[in-house]
Chain A
Amino acid sequence: DAKTTQPTSMDCAEGRAANLPCNHSTISGNEYVYWYRQIHSQGPQYIIHGLKNNETNEMASLIITEDRKSSTLILPHATLRDTAVYYCIVRVGGLGNNAGNMLTFGGGTRLMVKP
C-alpha cells in the first residue's frame, strides 16, 4: 500500500483556513485518499475521502493534484475545536477482499488552532 508523508505539526489562527498537505507519490490508480482526525483521548473521526476529483462536505474540502501524488485537506474556517492530529491515509485496495478497506495510520499532522 502507498505510504503518506505529512508535516509533523502546523499552527493556524482561529477563523483562518487550515491547509494540511499530504504526499502520496506511490499511490496507485485504484487507491483512495482518506482523511481522519483524532482529538486527544478520543477515537479517530472520519472527515472526507476522494479518488481524483476534489471533494467537499460539511467538514472540509479535499484537493487532489492531477497526478494524484499529493493532496490538501482544507478546513475553511478553523476553530479551536479543530485542534487535533490529522491523518492522511491511502487505502489498500485488495481485490476480492471484502474487508480490504483496512486503514494504515501513520504519525499524522498535529494541528494547533490558536486564538
Chain B
Amino acid sequence: SQTIHQWPATLVQPVGSPLSLECTVEGTSNPNLYWYRQAAGRGLQLLFYSVGIGQISSEVPQNLSASRPQDRQFILSSKKLLLSDSGFYLCAWSVQGMFQPQHFGDGTRLSIL
C-alpha cells in the first residue's frame, strides 16, 4: 500500500531563517505531488504541484519554492522566512490522471518567531 511521510512534524524557526520541509511517498511510481498550506482556522491553499521530476508549478506568489529531485520526493524551501509563513504545511500525492483523489501526509506545523 502507498504511504506518505512528512517531516518534521513541528518546527519553530526565527524570522529570516531558511526552511526545508521534506515529503516522500512510498508504494507508487510517478505520482503527482502537492504542497498545501493551511492557516489557522481556514481551508487549504495549494502552493505547488508537480507532475514529474524537476517539474514544478506554482499557484501563488510567495517567498517559498519547491523542488522534486527524485520521483517520490518533494521539498518545500525558503531562503528567508517571514512571519506570515507560519501555518500548517501539508504534502499530498495522487495517481496521475484526471479526477484521482489526493492523499495527504500528517503535515508540518511551522511557527515563525
Contact = CB atoms under 8 A, between A and B. Distances in A.
Given A105-B44, A107-B43, A100 B34 contact: no
Q: Is the interface of B mostly helix, strand, loop or mixed?
A: strand
Contacts of A34: 101
Interface residues of B, number: 31
Nearest to B106: A43
B79 interface: no
Contact of B46 (A87, A104, A106): A104
Contacts, number: 66
A106 B99 contact: no
Nearest to A31: B99
A11 to B, nearest CB: 19
B49 A102 contact: yes
Interface stretch (A21-29, A44-52, A66-74, A76-84): A44-52
A49 B32 contact: no
Interface residues on chain A, size class: 20 to 34
A103 B45 CA distance: 9
Interface in B68-113: 90, 92, 94, 96-107, 109
B34 A91 contact: no
A99 B33 CA distance: 9
A46 B95 CA distance: 13
Nearest to B59: A102
Interface of A: 32, 34, 41-46, 49, 87, 91, 93, 98-108
